[in-house]
A and B are shown apart, each in its own frame.
Chain A
Amino acid sequence: MIAEKRISLARIEKINADSIDDSLKAGAYNGLKKALTMNPEEMIEKFEKSGLRGRGGAGFPTGLKQKFTRSSCLDCEKYIICNADEGEPGTFKDRVIMERDPHMLIEGMIIAAYVIGASRGFIYIRGEYQRSIEVLQKAIEDSNKNGFLGENVLGSGFNFNLELRLGAGSYLCGEELTLLESLEGKRGYPRIKPPFPAQKGLWESPTLINNVETFSHLPAILNEGLDWYTSLGTEESKGTKIFTITGRVQKPGFYEMEMGCTLRELLFDIAGGMKDGYEFKGALLGGAAGTFVDESFLDIPLAYETLKARGATLGSGAILVLDQETDMPSLLHNLMDFFKHESCGKCVPCRVGTTMLTEMAAKLKNEPELIHKMTKEAHYMAETSLCPLGQSPILPLKSYREYYS
């Protein structure tokens, strides 16, 4: 039977998150020590070859992002930012890492900073994650005291300062360009791209932005080596991924699995199957900005390429399991209402469109044919909105139309 494979979460049950000594005994910062003996270019090549892709949802190759940011300028100031504004409905993987092994994230960030030549970094964390904020504050202090952060990291001559910045309740600020606006102390309005953050990010300087889970893979790649890492996962999706499985299942929670495991394995072997009296009907993969799937997806490997081939998305790894009692029109209405609430209003098609979609979704139960009109409107929105929020409603709508109407 399939079992969990832990990289990001390798230490969580062995350590007290508030104790750096615990983490050190369990191997924290060994990857950093290795990194400091290596050449940054050589490391970027390693991360490129590892096949690691961004775990926040978009799946952009991590090594390539590092390369773009590093090569953007050689001696100018560069920044590194951790996107810890986890807000995709059904997703809580980053919270688990931050609350239970903060040094995994910090180590990953220092490695990435060394690789791209950044001397300052920020963790932009959502304001609601109180426990994560407290744990990280202490971890950053401890890491400074132990010489992993600050001036002259471990005597290497490399300087790196890391600070926390709080969000204040905006889903949109999890989008990387909007995050930059918020981090600069402004309203969370998206920026026009290009330029991409690798060219002009925070305060117009080249900036590398990665998700918490992405950073947390870097130490293991250096410690265990490329062969080990690339042996995990599928052809185009290497390594592991944390899935958060919710709904009426026996053991809802977070599970770190090798990429390419199937939904059937995850749901029935790992999460204990459905609760008594409930039948599996399908799932919403990737949160609100995700896609609905039906029973035919049970045996499809959960990986970027296999899901893409079927028009679905892995997204953040959120899996909301649907059962025979799930009120589908009401769930869709809930998703549309979410987008309406979180739309910033900058682009008219998104501001008006999310309101229209919410109104139509409210009538969907009695007028099921409205789904066609909704999909059409969402398509226009996707074409004419600046950021991923306006481009997202089409994803659940199209897949809902395909499998649930």
Chain B
Amino acid sequence: MKYEAGLQKDRAEKKSLIIEHLHSLQDANPKQFLSEDDLKKCAKEFNLTMAEVYGIASYYSMFSLKPRGKYIIRLCKSSVCHMMGAENMASKIESLCKTKFGNTSANDLFTLEYAECLGQCEKAPAMMINKNVHGSLNPESLEKIIENLKKENA
């Protein structure tokens, strides 16, 4: 009986790495999302059903189940950024990136997402582009950041 308990414990401990594993699968996917194949790989790795893996992947907002662009713009919309003008930044971002929040631009360059508090409140309004933080946003600084990315990819 004892070895069975040990086996169960090992399995449980391994499962605690599943979020890490999903992060790394998503980071490795050129379209920055978890494809059905990715989920299958994860299910096999952890000996779980697809339903279980899907349940986990779909719960957490940092995981995407649909393909995304090269740059994921995550604009903070929580209270401090909201008060400091995040909504104006949102419409500016939409017009600069030529797509709406929740979507990816036609050239696959930008995906626009809202995020809850990013913990950058002293620099509100703030956003992340992929893993980098940009704070104290205003229409001018936004334009500069996004036009630069466009130029790099022209």
On A, residues with C-beta under 8 Å from B are: 86-92, 95, 126-131, 165-171, 182-188, 203, 244, 246-248, 252-254, 284, 287-288, 318, 320, 326, 330-331, 334-335, 338, 341-342, 344
Binds A, one of B73-81, B95-103, B140-148: B73-81
**Contacts A165-B16, A165-B19, A182-B19; is A128 near B121 (CB within 8 Å)?**
no
- Cα distance, A230 to B128, chains bound together (Å): 41
Given A128-B62, A168-B62, A244-B122, verify A88-B19 contact (CB < 8 Å). no
Q: Nearest chain-B residue to A183 (Cβ)?
A: B16
Contact B119–A184 (Cβ < 8 Å): no
In the assembled complex, the CB of A181 is this many whole angstroms from the nearest CB of chain B, namely: 10
A169 x B61 contact (CB < 8 A)? yes
Chain A nearest CB from B135 CB (Å) reads: 11
By a CB distance below 8 angstroms, the chain A residues around B116 are 87, 89, 169, 171, 338, 341-342
Contact B83 A326 (CB under 8 A): yes
Verify B19–A168 contact, CB threshold 8 A. yes
A42 to B9, CA, bound (A): 33
**B118 in the interface, Cβ–Cβ < 8 Å?**
yes
Q: How many residues of B contact A (CB 8 A)?
A: 40
CB interface residues, B 20-68, toward A, < 8 Å = 20, 22-23, 46, 55-56, 59-63
B residues near A, CB below 8 A? 9, 12-13, 15-20, 22-23, 46, 55-56, 59-63, 74, 77-80, 82-84, 115-122, 124, 128, 131-133
Report the minimum CB–CB distance from B122 to chain A (whole Å).
Answer: 5
Complex A-B: 17 CB contacts under 8 Å? A89-B116, A92-B119, A92-B121, A92-B122, A95-B119, A130-B131, A165-B20, A166-B19, A169-B62, A182-B19, A185-B18, A188-B59, A246-B80, A247-B83, A248-B84, A320-B80, A334-B82
- Shortest distance between the CB of B29 and any CB in chain A (Å): 15
* Most central of A185, A246, A341, A342 by chain B CB within 10 Å: A185
